[in-house]
């Protein structure tokens, strides 16, 4: 990988403050509600819309190291200019510390590596030189281990078509299971 690039805008500072304030206020309101049990429901409904974005930002941090997450100051490597060989959406798997059950994430296979995105945002690209291991089966999922500093390892996905195409791109012989 080349040198690290900083994000051009400073929105990540706002996101950091939002997470901290939302979580602190959520806890303060929770402690206050212990002493006022009759008003619990209305305050919970008021706080949930503020807490959900903060939790999503923290999940983002579970997938990406802090400096490459939505809260960090560094940009991730963009997708290559070439069109993807294969593009498939997965509904299960995991990335680093975050298990994605029922959350769609799309994997892209390029001749130069593999990319991923969540809802068309949070794109990440892993060059094939950084991929160290690709194994698994259709029962437990396929596991991609890598050394990219921009996304946590391993990436587990359930799509056999992506697994086979990645084996072709990486020139790994197919195993007969």
Q: pLDDT for 120-175, tens place per residue?
A: 777 899 998 999 888 887 777 899 999 999 999 899 888 889 898 998 888 865 45
**Beta strands at 113-118 and 141-146: parallel, antiparallel or unpaired:** unpaired
Q: Which bin fits 65, alpha (ψ -120 to 50), beta or left (φ > 0)?
A: beta
Report pLDDT for 40.
65
E-assigned strand segments in the chain: 86-95, 98-110, 113-118, 121-127, 131-137, 141-146, 155-157
Residue 50: exposure state from Cβ atoms within 10 A (0-12, 13-18, ≥19): middle
Report pLDDT for 1.
46
| pLDDT tens digit sequence for 9-33 | 788 888 888 888 888 887 887 787 7
pLDDT at 107 over 80: yes
Report pLDDT for 80.
92
Report pLDDT for 2.
54
| pLDDT tens digit sequence for 55-81 | 788 788 888 898 988 888 888 888 999
**Is 122:105 a contact under the CB 8 Å cutoff?**
no
Report pLDDT for 48.
78
Domain boundaries, the chain: 11-68, 86-170
**Beta strands at 131-137 and 121-127: parallel, antiparallel or unpaired:** unpaired
Report pLDDT for 177.
45
- Global pTM reads 0.78
Structure tokens at 168: 């072709």
As a whole-number percent, the residues of the chain with pLDDT over 70 amount to 92
CATH of domain 86-170: 2.30.29.30
Residue 112: band (very low, low, confident or very high) from pLDDT cuts 50, 70, 90: very high
Report pLDDT for 49.
79
């Amino acid at each position: 990988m080349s040198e690290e690039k900083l994000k051009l805008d400073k929105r990540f500072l706002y996101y950091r403050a939002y997470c901290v304030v939302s979580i602190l206020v959520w806890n303060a309101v929770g402690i206050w509600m212990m002493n006022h049990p009759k008003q619990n429901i209305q305050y919970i409904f008021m706080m949930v819309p503020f807490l959900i974005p903060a939790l999503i930002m923290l999940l983002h941090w579970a997938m990406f190291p802090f400096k490459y997450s939505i809260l960090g100051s560094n940009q991730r490597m963009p997708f290559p200019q070439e069109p993807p060989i294969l593009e498939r959406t997965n509904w299960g798997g995991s990335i680093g510390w975050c298990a994605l059950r029922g959350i769609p994430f799309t994997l892209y296979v390029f001749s130069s590596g593999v990319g991923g995105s969540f809802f068309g945002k949070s794109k990440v690209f892993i060059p094939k030189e950084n991929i160290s291991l690709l194994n698994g089966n259709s029962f437990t999922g396929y596991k991609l281990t890598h050394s990219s500093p921009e996304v946590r390892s391993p990436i587990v996905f359930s799509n056999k078509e992506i697994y086979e195409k990645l084996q072709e791109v990486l020139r790994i012989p197919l195993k007969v299971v």
